[in-house]
Amino acid sequence: MDDPDGYAHSELARRRRHEKAVALARYAWDRRIAAEELAALDEATLRRFARAAGVHPPSSRATWDATVELLERKQEWAERNPRRDEAARTHPEERIMWVKPPVPGW
């Protein structure tokens, strides 16, 4: 479908992508999911992840890339400010729902 008005590159579209990325990053952060782990999830899992976060699944990779960038920045900030309440993870036990631990060898 053509985008004659260039909506995907409009200020409104950028703002909505950012809002969605913030919500997704918050959800991932609270579950102790690292940026690289989120980036490695397949498309089907990312759609389920977005729905679980209460967000309509993004239609472009740009939103996921922004989410990964936000998580990286948050991790850097948290390493500098470990005692701040905002550095805490509220649902780390839910990480296993999204990032599976490696299966140990025999």
Q: Quick check: 55 and 23 in contact, CB under 8 A?
A: yes
Nearest-angstrom CA–CA distance, 19 and 28? 14
- Alpha carbon 90 to its chain's center: 15
Token pair, residue 31, equals 């579950």
- pLDDT > 80? residue 62: yes
Average pLDDT, integer, range 6-18: 83
Q: What is the DSSP string of 39-82?
A: HHS-HHHHHHHHHHTT-PPPSSHHHHHHHHHHHHHHHHHHHH-T
Q: Which two tokens stand for residue 78?
A: 């948290």
Residue 1: what pLDDT?
44
pLDDT reading at 44 higher than 70: yes
How does pLDDT run across 49-60, given as a tens digit for each residue?
A: 999 999 999 988
CB count within 10 Å of CB 25 equals 23
User: pTM for this one?
Assistant: 0.86
